[in-house]
Amino acid sequence: MGLWEKHVLPRMVDKMCGTKDMLPWRERAFAGLSGTVLEIGFGSGLNLAAYPPEVTRVLAVEPSELGRRLAADRIAKSGIDVDFVGLQGENIPLDDAVADGAASAFTLCTIPGVEQALAEVRRVLKPGAPFHLVEHGLAPQPNVQKWQHRIDPIEKKVAGGCHLTRDPVALLRAAGFTVEREEHDWMKAPKPWGYLTIATARAAS
């Protein structure tokens, strides 16, 4: 991890993803979660304010030490028990079938081994438990896709490995999840960054 990723990017993500207009997307995505939730890419804890009161514990996976530090106040104020359980979604040091649900916000775009991370989410979820997510990704419009593919190499370099061209729903299906809710909208952002997916998915085992 370079100086940019270590010292600057987590603060930028905290500011840019922490705006008021992002909260309703997060709340919409995470409605229905309860109990112990595995969260991959916990960042600076911005999702804590969006979890329903039925969520009592978060098993947080986050590689950025600064992100974890920036989360401290939010954790203290949240009333949710947060345990940092691992650094990488691709390798989660938890037993099988321990989570009542899982959550991801704007993280499937970034995790290098996203297929392996989704296999890990499946493993850690109790059978039939839901995975709720809100992600940006590949837009259906060819003219937007063209720009997403053009910008992607720069985006990856400046935004910590973030891809504009991943399709979260396709990734979920390829990982063996059944997608039971799929909603799309546009964020207030330039089009290549703006196509939003809110989804809930489950795997039988």
Ligand X SMILES: C[S@@+](CC[C@H](N)C(=O)[O-])C[C@H]1O[C@@H](n2cnc3c(N)ncnc32)[C@H](O)[C@@H]1O
Contact residues for ligand X (CB under 6 A)?
13, 17, 40-41, 43, 46-47, 61-64, 67, 88-90, 105-107, 110-112
Q: CB of residue 32 vs ligand X: minimum separation in angstroms?
A: 18
Q: Which is nearer to ligand X, 113 or 127 (CB)?
A: 113
Q: Which is nearer to ligand X, 89 or 130 (CB)?
A: 89
Q: Which is nearer to ligand X, 15 or 146 (CB)?
A: 15
Q: CB of residue 45 vs ligand X: minimum separation in angstroms?
A: 8
Which of the 8 DSSP states describes residue 126? Answer: P
Q: CB of residue 92 vs ligand X: minimum separation in angstroms?
A: 9
Q: CB of residue 149 vs ligand X: minimum separation in angstroms?
A: 20
| Own/partner pairs, 46-51, CB within 8 angstroms, 24+ separation | 46/14, 46/17, 46/18, 46/22, 46/74, 46/105, 47/103, 47/105, 48/74, 48/75, 48/78, 48/80, 48/82, 49/23, 49/74, 49/78, 50/23, 50/26, 51/78, 51/80, 51/103
